[in-house]
Structure 1
């Protein structure tokens, strides 16, 4: 039995079986470069740390349930001059998550609100925070169904526990029945504990009527706007730009 064969059960017991993926390579490197024992161990364990970090990031991204794989790196800041690039990049540092601030992104359809929201979510995952993306209608529909099934508290916890909750397209449709109270409860429980990103086609001034009751609207908006960053985006739609702004095909594409 080789030394490596004897190592396998020990590494598994220590939950370090991933080390085997680079053990042979690092051993050969140690021989070729005449590495010290400590340098060999440092590089071998460094591989394991990178592997685990990568696995954990993949898990956080998967659990976030993003609609699309969006990043700040692939956002076209030149398309709409109203996008505050410096502010967006500052938010991309995820410092707002440490402070439990909110980010409210408003503007017409197609200007990149969902892209920016999910890109901030991806940055949060990369920084080690938990995130969850959900459409406003889906969030409220899940809470309504949970109330009927007697699992409301458990379902509410799904939306109040992530470090970052992204609610997309708030106000696309009016709120009915218990939906205003459900939305308020999400806002209330996350206030100054977790961060929330909300996108909407409606201006901030149009949000209070969504809650129906003026007192509830005041309480919800007071919490949302306190410690918040409001991004107002205007301009053309990325999906349907005017003819003068459409990308011209390359010579190869024109053939």
Structure 2
């Protein structure tokens, strides 16, 4: 039908109609990107522009280009950004989440401690199932500062539930300065930690960060 009506128009009319429809599509896409970025609740907006990649050691079968192309999202793969404090783990995680939103993916950012508190409040208010369903709608979940603060037994179980529910369903980005061997201290249970690691590494890659803290290197206080 649209093609039939287009044939009836003059070249100028068709040119105008094409421009109008293209502008409408771009407006809708821009609105969607804005909604997704707002829903992701990123603490700040970060991009890859000017990012220092020199601190990152990639796995042999993976590199910078497939990472920024977000190919891991298509296959619901995970990323563990592990290493020294201040070497760009959080910046990269946020930039990846922002890029995902700009490409139409649903993403959500939490510090690990904030997610645990969020889930605990939901459980206390008898709406845990609703919150877990809302989290499950995201194609990417970022857990920042994993292992920076202690988690009690109930919080560990809630965190385990989120990670287990997302297995092979969505991508997970974890930033941490703790090696896998120390994850038992996070959950207070080596068996639970082993189950979490098993799910994450099955479809995941480890990016290691080494170097001096950017904040210390550029600090006013010496």
Determine if the TM-score, normalized by the shorter chain, exceeds 0.5. Answer: yes
Match of 1:241 in 2: 217
Rounded Cα–Cα distance in structure 1 between residues aligned with 2:198 and 2:110: 22
Q: Which has the higher contact order (CA 8 A, sep 6+)?
A: 2
**After the TM superposition, which parts of structure 1 deviate over 3 Å for at least 4 consecutive aligned residues?**
82-86
Rounded Cα–Cα distance in structure 2 between residues aligned with 1:106 and 1:194: 20
User: Larger C-alpha radius of gyration, 1 or 2?
Assistant: 1
Rounded Cα–Cα distance in structure 1 between residues aligned with 2:204 and 2:100: 17
* Residues 139 and 170, structure 2, Cα contact 8 Å, conserved in 1: yes
- Give the SS at the match of 1:48: helix
* Residues 83 and 177, structure 2, Cα contact 8 Å, conserved in 1: yes
> What RMSD over aligned residues (CA atoms) do the two structures have, in Å?
2.1
Moved more, 125-134 or 209-218: 209-218
Rounded Cα–Cα distance in structure 2 between residues aligned with 1:199 and 1:132: 14
Match of 2:169 in 1: 193
Structure 1 unaligned spans of 5+: 1-33, 247-255
- Give the SS at the match of 2:214: coil
Q: Deviations over 1:150-182 (max 9, x none)?
A: 111112223332110001001001221311111
Q: 1:217: Cα distance to partner? A: 1.9
- Give the SS at the match of 1:97: helix
Match of 1:229 in 2: 205
Q: 1:36: Cα distance to partner? A: 3.0
Q: 1:84: Cα distance to partner? A: 4.1
Q: What TM-score do the two structures reach when normalised by structure 2?
A: 0.87
Q: Deviations over 1:78-128 (max 9, x none)?
A: 5x3x45497233111111111000011011211100000011101111111
Match of 1:42 in 2: 18
Q: Deviations over 1:212-254 (max 9, x none)?
A: 22322221110011110111101011111179xx9xxxxxxxx
Determine whether 1:90 maps to 2:66: yes
Match of 1:212 among 185, 188, 192: 188
- Give the SS at the match of 2:215: coil
* Residues 106 and 231, structure 1, Cα contact 8 Å, conserved in 2: yes
Match of 2:139 in 1: 163
Q: 1:35: Cα distance to partner? A: 4.6
* Residues 153 and 187, structure 2, Cα contact 8 Å, conserved in 1: no
Rounded Cα–Cα distance in structure 1 between residues aligned with 2:216 and 2:70: 31
Rounded Cα–Cα distance in structure 1 between residues aligned with 2:113 and 2:135: 13
